[in-house]
Amino acid sequence: MAKTKVSPKATSSLGPNEVRKMYRNMLLARTIDERMWTLNRAGKAPFVIPCRGQEAAQVGWAAGLRPTDYFLPYYRDIGVMVTLGYTARQAFLSLLGKAEDVTSGGRQMPGHYGWRERHVITGSSPVTTQVLHAVGIAYASQLRGEDTVSAASLGEGSTSQGDFHEALNWASIYKLPVLFVVENNGYAISSPQSKEMAVQDTAERALGYGMAGVTVDGTDFFASYEATVQAAERARRGDGPTLLEFKMYRLLPHSSDDDDRTYRSREEVDAWKDRDPIQRMQNHVLEAGIMTAEEVDALRVEVQAEVDDAIAYAEAAPYPPVEDMFTHVYAD
């Protein structure tokens, strides 16, 4: 199985209405992200983990799967969640740890997704643990003869964990219907890719396990979407797992607690702003005549209003009652 690169100019099977929806998802993810950051800086949200720069890949890989598939996203995946129907209100309820938070009832830090109804499996903070769960979920699907795929995402740095290698080994031995989605943003906090691995592309690691590995331009929505559709088809056909690597750049510090000026230059960050995935998608919808400039402006206003409403709602929402912290340790 050769490592392939998907051309950034890959054409899409999506119609104009769907493209518009995908652009909206990306814009909503970005806007949620921006406003979370503002709340943090205003002292109203203790912790934010940004997705900025990764929206195309996130919306692309989530949209490339079916609602019946299983999703094991990692902490940056606002774009994945929005594509699965997560609303701005839900995002801010989770940010502020309010009772109505759908991911954990206010128990988990923001960015720790889980939503049973939408097949989003609950996740923790220790990185890479979810990748093995995706393998087990795929094994169960295969055993029951279902055509569902499971997909776990993680950062490129997180592929240094032993769990990652155990997961790829299992998946390829049993040709399981699972996608390993590496969102390669160049850094693991301050650690550049070169300190996490000696290979250029994370996808090269697939070769050693006898499975498909694909490197994709993660700032290109269409390339991300198509690569996922193809990998999912392979998985459903019984041709086994794929390691999908989306290359992009983390435009913000690691989290609201980080200061990236200590380890990377402003020139480096600015150079990547030219490949901002939101801008690329906007250029596309305008150039392809899918939306007019007025429609793009109207969409921005609409998304901002949705986020304004969400913040007001979440700020007014109650915390969970203290007694609730003792529930669900075991089946009652």
Partner 1 sequence: MAVKNLIDGIREAMHEEMARDERVVLLGEDVGKRGGVFRASEGLVDAYGDKRVIDAPLGESGIVGVAIGMALNGLVPIAEIQFADFIHPAFNQIVSEAAKIRYRSDNDFHVPMVIRAPFGGGVHGGLYHSQSVEAFFMHVPGLKVVIPSTPADAKGLLKAAIRDEDPVLFFEHKRSYRLVRGEVPDGDVTVPIGKARMVREGKDLSIFAYGLMALYAEQAADTLAKEGISAEVIDLRTLLPLDREAILASVARTHRALIVHEANYTMGAGAEVAATIAEGALYELDAPIRRLAGPDIPAMPFNTPQEEHFMPNPEKIAQAARELLAL
Ligand X SMILES: Cc1ncc(C[n+]2csc(CCOP(=O)(O)OP(=O)(O)O)c2C)c(N)n1
Shortest distance (Å) from residue 285 CB to partner 1: 37
Considering beta carbons, is residue 158 or 228 the nearer one to ligand X? 158
Smallest gap from residue 120 Cβ to ligand X (A): 18
Binding mask 85-124 for Mg ion (x = CB under 5 A): ----------------------------------------
Distance CA 179, CA 47 (A): 29
Could you tell me the smallest distance in angstroms from the CB atom of residue 125 to ligand X?
5
Is there binding between residue 47 and partner 1 (CB under 8 A)?
yes
Q: Which residues pair with 71 in a beta bridge?
A: 120, 151
CB of 90 to partner 1, least distance (A): 15
Alpha helices in the chain (DSSP H): 16-41, 55-63, 78-83, 88-95, 129-143, 162-173, 221-237, 266-273, 277-287, 293-316
Binding mask 142-161 for Mg ion (x = CB under 5 A): -------------xxx----
- What part of residues 162-191 is at the interface with partner 1 (CB under 8 A)? 162-163, 188-191
Stretch of 4-12, 179-187, 261-269, 322-330 lying at the interface with Mg ion (CB under 5 A): 179-187
Binding site for ligand X (CB under 6 A): 76, 125-127, 154-158, 183, 185, 187-189, 250, 254
Q: Answer yes or no: are the C-beta atoms of 199 and 193 closer than 8 Å.
A: no
Of 97-105, 130-138, 141-149, 235-243: span binding partner 1 (CB under 8 A) = 97-105
The DSSP output letter for 117 is: G
Instruction: Single out the residue of 64, 114, 157, 277 in contact with partner 1 (rule: CB under 8 A).
Output: 157
**Contact flag: residue 215 with Mg ion (CB under 5 A):** no
Residue 147 vs residues 115, 131, 236: alpha-carbon distances, Å:
21, 19, 6
Residues for the chain: how many in total?
Answer: 332
Cα dihedral value 191, 195, 197, 201, nearest 10:
60
Minimal distance in Å, beta carbon 266 to ligand X? 19
Tokens 């094994």 correspond to what residue? 139
Q: Please work out, in degrees rounded to the nearest 5, the angle formed at the alpha carbon of residue 154 by the alpha carbons of 152 and 158.
A: 130
C-beta neighbour count of 191 within 10 angstroms:
14
Q: How many CB atoms neighbour CB 65 within 10 A?
A: 25
Which positions touch partner 1 (CB under 8 A)? 46-47, 97-98, 104, 106-110, 112, 124-127, 157-158, 160-163, 188-191, 195-197, 257-258, 262-263, 319-322, 324-326, 329
